[in-house]
Structure 1
């Protein structure tokens, strides 16, 4: 006999970033809000994240999104984001993938044309607009978190690199924003490993120097992200394009440019006076995939110019499957606290 758990999952990607959507198999989590449920996983039951992002079940480059019941009457579902760096309260690519999975799985019924609904993320309510043609989810537009510049044009000496100029943006997490050209990068796929090494050194240096505090959330942990910015090209009236790459500490270059990375770039462009409400920015990844960010509005809050924005992208369904978790597997037993959220659902099956 063996102890086994079965998880229902849907594999998706947006811009190349793979998101594994867990649609079933997890016990209800404690917490009055999705944010509190996320904090429970983070503090007391981190085993699920470790299980699904590491061997033999996954890779650190992936993300996991756990579907949970919404706790807000206006939201049709809730979701918790898990990445190699921990539990970001928001992610554009993961939101695009989660919304697509909910629609394609039938957990939210599709409506032809433009369909609007709300999801509950750990950051709060997220407005979703899905464009559906012939029963296929063609695009998802989601609200990006209000974004602002915390630090502009600071410099730091980085071992093996030299002096680096950076800005710090907040867009759901704190981002170091660096000019790729000044660091010798063209932002092509062949540079991926060197980009990761460079970003690792820069983030380590900035983390050692200081932390960053959100004006309402307070301390949200060490700097987790870096965004490489390519040259800005104007390709139409109020429409811009830039090659970009987002790094997640430690060691991961995202396949996509990421939604939060795009939101951070919009905040920086606004700070520099380069765009106005209604303008759009397409960020293009090392794999030539892209997201489109729209600068919706700006308001002043706690001394910051806070940019309201949306992110548009397309997610593709890769697979629908079951994951079988064998509790006798020593690689599973290494996932401390997994039993906190799985113990009442595992079952004995003939071995």
Structure 2
């Protein structure tokens, strides 16, 4: 008999965006950092991403987060993010879901009240604050990546749409930021398909016209994100709210407003002088879910004002399952996959730590 190939998952969602946390069934990846392991997956084992985001196992609107052993001594665990567009080095919603999963899996022991630990993303260490009440993870606050405005108030002619004004922020990926009302949108759920079609056309036009380079990372690939911005209303001193929708190229409107989209909004509000350190912005999705971004500080990096921020949201566990990978199934593409599957399946946190040692219980 052939050995059964299985992958262990904990499915979660934050703001409606489903993150599939891979907790077992994958062999140790080469690379002395989580970033290097991400690059190995991207270049030599992209079959895992495609398997879990395509039929029959998934859909492109999901994300995947592979738990891996941390390479930094301060981190409780590492994680690699996979989406339809590829391998972003950071994501707020995925970080919120992953932090919740490591608490639910016991990699970090839950404690009542607020507790702090760190995770290692491909972008580096991420500080986490978890709020636990009666054993339930009620909120996760994570660091957003330092964010800045690369381009302010540019315009482009888009086939079928006309002239579109946009700004470009970096917040873990490059984002085109566009005013929703100027394009005829109120950011309601019935507009979802038209939002995706409009964003697709705008991103295609921007990608064809120009590229973007990060001031330290250099070329990070074609612009992959677009964020529709609704009007900003002030609901209290230092507290703002705005309807929002994030698009991931090609073709996906996120269920949540996304953490990196919220960070990009904070960078734009700072650039335009509409927010100060300590202020918060709550972004509201098409499905009436929200994240809260807080602008914590600003630093000058060359010509750019770089906004430090954090993102708060809540994740829910919606399933724990074993996926059986049957490479004889004509619907299943196993190219770039079988060499990283463990034939016996197994618990990732069991293989992550040497025999006889317990997972690191970060306080």
TM (norm. structure 2) is 0.94
- Superposition map of 1:261-280 within 5 A: 261-280=261-280
Q: Is the 8 Å Cα contact of residues 266 and 293 (structure 1) preserved in structure 2? A: yes
**Alignment of 1:342 onto 2:330:** no
Q: What is residue 326 of structure 1 aligned with on the other side?
A: 326
- CA shift for structure 1 position 345: 4.9
Write the distance in 2 (CA, Å) between the matches of 1:325 and 1:252: 26
Q: Please give the alpha-carbon distance, in whole angstroms, between the structure 1 residues aligned to 2:234 and 2:21.
A: 36
Deviations 1:169-221 (A, max 9, x none): 00000000000000000000000000000000000000000110001111100
Distance 1:203 1:117 in 2: 37
Q: Which residue of 1 aligns with 2:84?
A: 84
Tell me the residue number matched to 1:249. 249
Residue 167 of structure 1 is matched in structure 2 by: 167
Query: What does residue 218 of structure 1 align with?
Result: 218
TM-aligned CA distance change 1:24 to 1:306, over 3 Å: same
Residue 259 of structure 2 corresponds to which residue in structure 1?
A: 259
Give 5+ residue unaligned stretches, structure 1.
none
For the Cα contact (< 8 Å) 2:6–2:343, is it kept in 1?
no
Partner residue, 2:71: 71
| 1:344 CA displacement | 5.5
Paired with 1:300 and 1:8, the residues of 2 have a C-alpha distance of: 44
**1:231 is paired with a residue of what secondary structure?**
strand
How far did residue 143 of structure 1 move?
A: 0.1
The answer to whether the 8 A contact 2:7-2:345 is kept is no
For the residue of structure 2 that corresponds to 1:9, the secondary structure is strand
CA distance in 1, matches of 2:226, 2:163: 16
Q: CA deviation at 1:108?
A: 1.3
1:296 and 1:307 in contact (8 A); partners too? yes
> After the TM superposition, which segments of 4 or more aligned residues of structure 1 sit over 2 Å from their partners?
1-4, 343-347
Per the alignment, residue 361 of structure 2 pairs with: none
Does structure 1 residue 140 correspond to structure 2 residue 151? Answer: no
- Note the C-alpha offset of 1:280: 0.0
> C-alpha distance in 2, partners of 1:256/1:335?
30
**RMSD after superposition:** 1.1
Moved more, 20-29 or 100-109: 100-109
SS at match of 1:191: helix
Aligned partner of 1:208 in structure 2 is 208
- Name the counterpart of 1:93: 93
Gaps of 5+ in 2: 347-363
| CA deviation vs aligned residue, 1:271-295 (integer Å, no higher than 9, x gap) | 0000000000000000000000000
* Structure 1 residue 107 displacement after superposition: 1.9
| 1:314 paired to 2:314 | yes
Aligned equivalents of 1:252, 1:329: Cα separation in 2? 27
Q: Deviations over 1:109-151 (max 9, x none)?
A: 1111101000000000000000000111000000000000000
Q: Secondary structure at the match of 1:232?
A: strand
Q: CA deviation at 1:96?
A: 0.2
**TM-score normalised by structure 1 residue count:** 0.97
Q: Which residue of 1 aligns with 2:24?
A: 24
The answer to whether the Cα contact below 8 Å between 2:129 and 2:141 also exists between their aligned partners in 1 is: yes
Contact 1:141 1:313 in 2 (8 A): yes
Please say if residues 293 and 312 of structure 2, whose CA atoms lie closer than 8 Å, have aligned partners that are also in contact. Answer: yes
Post-superposition Cα deviations, 1:208-240, rounded to whole Å, max 9, x if no partner, equal 001100011111001100000000000000000
Q: Which residue of 2 aligns with 1:58?
A: 58
Q: Which residue of 1 aligns with 2:356?
A: none
Tell me which moved more, 122-131 or 338-347. Answer: 338-347
Alignment partners' CA distance in 2, 1:211 and 1:282: 30
8 Å Cα contact 2:18/2:63 also seen in 1: yes
Partner of 2:350: none
SS for the counterpart of 1:200 is helix
Spell out, residue by residue over 1:25-82, the C-alpha distance to the aligned partner (whole angstroms, 9 max, x if none): 1000000000000000001110000000000000000000000000000000000000
Following the alignment from structure 1 to structure 2, what is the Cα–Cα distance between the partners of residues 4 and 211? 45
Aligned to 2:102: 102
Structure 1's 136 and 343: CA in aligned 2 closer, same or farther, altered over 3 A? Answer: closer
